[in-house]
Chains A and B, each alone.
Chain A
Amino acid sequence: GENVEQHPSTLSVQEGDSAVIKCTYSDSASNYFPWYKQELGKRPQLIIDIRSNVGEKKDQRIAVTLNKTAKHFSLHITETQPEDSAVYFCAASQGNSGYSTLTFGKGTMLLVSP
């Protein structure tokens, strides 16, 4: 089955700095890669996703890049703010295969200090 590795497990940055979180996946059939943000005591919320036919996607301060050959994808947050502090999860899925199973990384706790 699919295996997703996520690094780092914790990341501390100063407000205004950039943050990068990296994930690798094992199954070359995976073609959908969402990122979720989970604040303390709340549900995971989708912040951005990318499909395998695209190499990069941006949404304001957040961007995701995908390297299919190397089987890794990364989340980039620029100009970080204290409200970006949360746990971020990457996931991989074989969309269009008749079912939807998200395999998650173990999560990265991002702390943005003012």
Chain B
Amino acid sequence: KAGVTQTPRYLIKTRGQQVTLSCSPISGHRSVSWYQQTPGQGLQFLFEYFSETQRNKGNFPGRFSGRQFSNSRSEMNVSTLELGDSALYLCASSQDGQGETQYFGPGTRLLVL
């Protein structure tokens, strides 16, 4: 099976802009989780989607949002970008998200200038 894929791999934006990142899970996986990775804070949970519904949300401002489509592909959107949003955004998929192995994508590296 193909692994988790993310597009784009790299992105440069300026403050105030918005960005949309995409994640395609492993075929058959219905749970997609998003994480932000920074050198200072490590890996932090953003939100999880299962069957097109947000099932859990981390402690991030409302500028961070996401959605999941019927084919389990997921997108996350960050509006009104701030310098501190510069990070590696990782998505991970699992079959149903209940204590199963999560497989990570390669990530999207976002730089906000």
Chain A contact residues, majority secondary structure? loop
Evaluate contact between B42 and A105: CB separation under 8 angstroms. Answer: yes
Residues of A contacting B99 with CB < 8 Å?
31-32, 51, 93-97, 100
The answer to whether A103 and B45 touch (CB under 8 A), given A42-B106, A43-B107, is yes
> Which listed residue, A31, A36, A99, touches B56 by the CB 8 Å rule?
A99
| Interface residue total, chain A, C-beta cutoff 8 A | 28
Structural contact, A104 and B43, CB atoms closer than 8 A: yes
Q: How far is the CA of A98 from the CA of B56 in the complex (A)?
A: 10
Q: Do A106 and B42 have beta carbons less than 8 Å apart?
A: yes
Known: A34-B101, A51-B99. 17 other contacts (CB 8 A): A31-B99, A32-B99, A43-B105, A44-B43, A45-B104, A89-B42, A95-B98, A96-B99, A97-B99, A98-B55, A99-B56, A99-B98, A101-B45, A101-B56, A104-B44, A105-B42, A106-B42
B interface vs A, CB < 8 Å? Answer: 31, 33, 35, 42-45, 48, 50, 55-56, 58, 90, 92, 94, 97-107
A-B contact pairs, 8 of them (CB 8 A): A34-B102, A44-B43, A49-B101, A51-B99, A89-B42, A98-B55, A101-B56, A102-B92
